[in-house]
Amino acid sequence: MAKKKTYTARYTREGDAWTVTFTRPDVTTWAATLKAAQRAAREALAVTLDYPSVEALLTDADVIDLVGRDSELAHRAASLRARRVQLAAEEVDVARQTAELGRALVEQGMSTRDAGAALGVSGARISQTRAG
């Protein structure tokens, strides 16, 4: 699998709007809120790089958001956001594996309460995963 390209977006507050700048490629956009600026940045980058959509861009590339004028704080915030995304993905995977293993343990004759204890969740949680 090819390594994803990384683009860095620098966000600064200018009056009552956020300005976003990429240096490579040279792209600048703005929006009233930070969330809207993040969306606008990805849209502008996708258009500049000739992607059909933001989703297509994000399949091939990562965008690092550096927010504010303090470089150290901006990098720390970006790192923390990246960790949150990673943890959320891991949480989804752990939940999926818990459901699969819980079902397998119950199918082999273990009670939902015991299966829950074996996996560190409640028996009710095992029952929920079996129902859905």
Q: What is the DSSP letter of 120?
A: T
Angle at 92 between CA 88 and CA 94, to 5 degrees: 110
Tell me what pLDDT residue 78 has: 86
Helix or strand (DSSP H, E) at 60:
helix 54-60
Asked if residue 74 has pLDDT above 90, the reply is no
Tell me what pLDDT residue 2 has: 76
Comparing CA positions, the residue from 31, 29, 24, 28 lying closest to residue 8 is 24
* pLDDT tens per residue across span 80-115: 988 998 999 999 999 999 999 999 999 999 999 999
| Secondary structure percentages of the chain, helix, strand, coil, to 5 | 60, 20, 20
Asked if residue 17 has pLDDT above 90, the reply is yes
